[in-house]
Amino acid sequence: MNGYDILVSTLERFEQNLLSSETITTVYDLANISGYSSHHLSRLFFSHTHLKLKEYMQGRLLCCLIEEALTNNVPFSSLILDYGFKDYETFFRACKHHYNRNPSQIRKEGLDGSLLQKRIYPSRNERSQEIPAQYITEGRITLCGLSFFVGPETRSFHCHWQKFTRYQKSIKRQSGQPTTYQYTAWHDSDGGDMTLLCAQQVEPGVYQQPIFTCRTIEPCTYVRFVHRTEVTEIRETYQYIYGTYFAWSNDQIIGNWELQRYSNETTDIEILIPVKTRILDPNQR
């Protein structure tokens, strides 16, 4: 199965469970079914729908709960646990967020059907102008730099890199031009939180100041893409990677992290996404 097939089958499983007593209520649980990490599944979903997976799932849960309650004339409170709301207050806040109405208003006035999140059927993205993909194997990489906890509301890493730039000369490394990396790891939660490491490659075992975080990445196979335009346009590159490349590819993405590697001579950015094996190269289809 390629990425698109996995996405479709995962969403089908989600819909089937909405009709059962084993409702899937979190992105994390849905990702476990897909075999992807929460982050990669969310990116794959967004690239085909332009919707956030967490909000879509909650919209579907609310839609089914409200339709069942109003159709069968049963209290909302008797259904909230079945649809993943831990208490009535959580359900109340979700209604206000999605519909700007509280449950009592919804019960009394009903809801316009256009406000309810209906099931979507994502279409496979047709191939746009291709960004070449290359399978590479890298040996052990030791990184040293500044680590940041980043929330989903963050739109730019500019401030984080500015801070790193002020301290990077204090990193102990061999002589020569250092190679700079961005290591990004997403937390297995529905919040979209991540850890960002702005770093340089160093020799392992060298003592570094306590302000720095060191991380060793074991030998790994990656799918490598090169972003060659302005950094402000890197979202378009990721749209291609998840919306087109992985929609056609049978590559199995592993882990909950990725690397960006920066050239010392150009503005090119290498994007390295770890994969388990090379199964099918979609550029050869």
Give, in degrees to the nearest 5, the angle at Cα 262 between 215 and 191.
55
CA distance linking residue 29 with residue 275, whole number of Å: 21
DSSP readout, 202-246? Answer: --TT----TTSEEEEE--EEEEEEEE-S-GGGHHHHHHHIIIIIH
| 202 alpha carbon, distance to own chain's centre | 28
Instruction: Give me the pLDDT at residue 285, please.
Output: 37
Instruction: Give me the pLDDT at residue 247, please.
Output: 87
Half-sphere exposure of 154 (CA within 13 A, CB side): 16
Q: Enumerate the β-bridge partners of residue 183.
A: 197, 259
Q: What is the pLDDT of residues 206-253, one digit of tens each?
A: 999 999 999 999 999 999 999 998 988 998 899 899 988 988 888 888
CATH hierarchy code of domain 134-284? 3.20.80.10
Residue boundaries of the structural domains of the chain = 3-115, 134-284
Half-sphere exposure of 260 (CA within 13 A, CB side): 17
**Domain 3-115: CATH architecture, name and number where available:** Orthogonal Bundle (1.10)
CA distance linking residue 187 with residue 193, whole number of Å: 6
Instruction: Give me the pLDDT at residue 282, please.
Output: 40
Rounded alpha-carbon distances, angstroms, from residue 23 to 14, 33, 54, 61, 118: 8, 13, 14, 9, 17
Instruction: Give me the pLDDT at residue 190, please.
Output: 65
CA distance linking residue 50 with residue 220, whole number of Å: 31
Angle between the N-to-C axes of helices 27-34 and 3-18, in degrees from 0 to 180, rounded to the nearest 10: 130
Which DSSP symbol is given to 136? E
Going residue by residue through the chain, which has 285 residues, state the pLDDT in tens, using 9 for 90 and above. Answer: 788 999 999 999 999 999 887 889 999 999 999 988 888 899 899 989 989 999 999 999 999 999 999 999 999 999 999 898 999 999 999 999 999 999 999 999 888 888 999 999 988 777 667 899 999 999 999 999 999 999 877 778 999 999 999 999 999 987 778 899 999 999 876 667 899 999 999 999 999 999 999 999 999 999 999 999 898 899 889 989 998 898 888 888 888 899 999 988 889 999 999 998 644 444 443
Record the pTM.
Answer: 0.83
